Chain A
């Protein structure tokens, strides 16, 4: 009994998630091999085939997938560029007693209803809206950004930025001050300390932030609906349309499966690129202890010391 108590305690959660997550998602995967037999039914599994996948890869739909990938990559990159200095500022520059307040300030937008803050942008960006009136007031032309891809990009950067800042803040907060001071005492300039000490130690947090932004962003459906207009710029809308309007569940399922596939493949490629790019830095920073290869160890660590002292 005692041996199995762990399994028993976890069983309700396990059953709940299997019943309402694993099974329905599996069913959607099965649906994706089906077809829409006539205009009255949503799906049929009479003839299983890869035809729906072939349909997804036709230009009419696949353009939206490429568009989504572009917004996902660009949005994540912009979030990283905007969020990194903010997180660094909050974790390192600001007086410790103010950090709690700043964390709270970043969290308020994060926990404000997603749809409502996106509507806030719709009000701001509207042709007769506040920003446009302000621009015209100082002699600029009226805004025509609403219902474009730029508006969607602005919207996703805004909506997911807190998800980038918070894990980055946690990561920078963990890199202790004494380590940075030691680096400075050894004569390293600030940039060297940042790239050789802070950034490598904060790497897990950076990866977490990128994934926390990129994955939900790729599946986003609200931002594009509110700011992108009727053009259907992202896959989320495409999937929703197949389930709610076109009532073609098989095609919608195939789109959802392809979306997950694209997310997984792009994350894997990204991980590979990061691994390759950081390879030289990692071999340079590696410290080999012990008598195993004294000559080799010195050769590996020596350039770092020389560079640190010379800079």
Chain B
């Protein structure tokens, strides 16, 4: 007869542990958000409450430029990654061949290589292409950032699109072909709408991945186009001011908006919580 009470006791222990861990996960984020309302010289020591720190976004050109570089790079990198990754995912799902194993192997390699290795590899390569070989485009800050940020995202988008199309029946496309649709029409009217949730989710994930990228950005960025995380990293050495927290809070809201959109798109496409969790932890 003691069974039900012990059962609910262990359930309660699980619940308490889960809530404690969630608090742990949100603790530093809450601290950063709270600090953004700090008006004072230093981020670490609380002075008094106010919204002054948020004004830095408008008053300090360096801060504003860094945010703009981040958003701009994020959009372009997401476009590049989505285009390349979606085509690769489509190819793997609908036209598999022996080459597919090589591509999957390469994508896996890209996604497991520590970022620091990508970063230190890209730096000499950009210098070689831009200065030694004289290809001026590789000296452009935005181009360098887009290349560095897109690598991992290409793999993510390719996985997403491949998984989505493999889960859907290829007979739809065959039926379209039987009804005399050209391959282009079939692609536009059948394949693309089917793959769209994955493509859109991939785009938004690539955007947030790029927005967050610190390590590769710190190595390949050139002065004049410093993205926001690199600005924060350099502020770390010279002393953190409350405006860092304020602008980070704004960036957090931007990231969360993108993520909420991803969740909405996937949910509308019929994914469960577990499917969404799988998608967002990188396949």
Contact = CB atoms under 8 A, between A and B. Distances in A.
Is chain B a partner of chain A in the same complex? yes
A12 interface: yes
A263 B195 CA distance: 35
Contacts of A71: none
A228 interface: no
A296 interface: no
Interface of A: 5-10, 12-14, 16-18, 20-25, 27-28, 31, 42-43, 82-83, 85-86, 88-91, 93-94, 99-100, 102-124, 126, 128-130, 158, 161-163, 165-167, 169-170, 173-174, 190, 211-212, 215-216, 218-222, 225-226, 236, 239-240, 243-244, 249, 252-253, 256, 259-260, 263
Contact of A99 (B80, B95, B211, B273): B273
Contact of A113 (B95, B96, B248): B248
Contacts of B35: 123
B240 to A, nearest CB: 7
A174 B109 CA distance: 27
Given A5-B95, A9-B88, 13 more contacts: A12-B87, A14-B88, A14-B106, A16-B154, A82-B21, A119-B28, A120-B31, A173-B273, A173-B274, A215-B112, A219-B116, A236-B215, A260-B117
A171 B24 CA distance: 23
Nearest to A15: B84
Given A14-B103, A158-B28, A6 B96 contact: yes
B71 interface: no
B84 to A, nearest CB: 4
Contacts of B119: 240
A119 B244 contact: yes
Contact of B116 (A105, A129, A162, A240): A240
B147 interface: yes
A222 B217 CA distance: 12
Contacts of B273: 99-100, 102-103, 173
Given A112-B29, A115-B214, A20 B147 contact: yes
16 contacts: A7-B95, A9-B88, A17-B110, A20-B122, A86-B17, A89-B17, A111-B208, A111-B255, A111-B259, A113-B211, A119-B28, A120-B31, A130-B31, A166-B281, A190-B10, A215-B114
Query: What is the size category of the interface that chain B forms with chain A?
Result: 35 or more
A113 B251 contact: yes
A14 B92 CA distance: 12
B115 A216 contact: yes
A23 B248 contact: no
Contact of B25 (A13, A91, A162, A169): A162
B212 A113 contact: yes
B114 A113 contact: no
A185 to B, nearest CB: 14
B125 A93 contact: no
Given A13-B85, A212-B282, A256 B116 contact: yes
Contacts of A42: 124
A29 to B, nearest CB: 9
A239 B32 contact: no
A305 B215 CA distance: 54
* Residue in A6, A173, A226 whose Cβ sees the most chain B Cβ within 10 Å: A6
Given A6-B95, A226-B236, A252 B120 contact: yes
B57 interface: no
Nearest to A85: B17
A7 B29 contact: no
Contacts of A158: 24-25, 28
A216 B117 CA distance: 11
A216 to B, nearest CB: 6
A20 B125 contact: yes
Contacts of B21: 82-83, 86, 161, 165
B214 to A, nearest CB: 5
Nearest to A264: B112
B68 interface: no
B43 interface: yes
Interface string B112-132: 111111111111110010000
Contact of A107 (B125, B148, B259): B259
Contacts of B31: 120, 123-124, 130
A209 B211 CA distance: 24
Contact of B154 (A13, A111, A260): A13
Interface string B200-216: 00000000100110110
Contacts of A190: 10
Interface in B5-40: 10-11, 14-15, 17-18, 21-22, 24-32, 35
* Residue in B27, B121, B244 whose Cβ sees the most chain A Cβ within 10 Å: B121
Given A113-B248, A119-B236, A216 B114 contact: yes
Nearest to B25: A109
Interface string B174-212: 000000000000000000000000000000000010011
Contact of A236 (B11, B114, B208, B240): B114
A6 B94 contact: yes
B24 A24 contact: no
B32 A123 contact: yes
A249 B251 CA distance: 34
B280 interface: yes
B14 A88 contact: yes
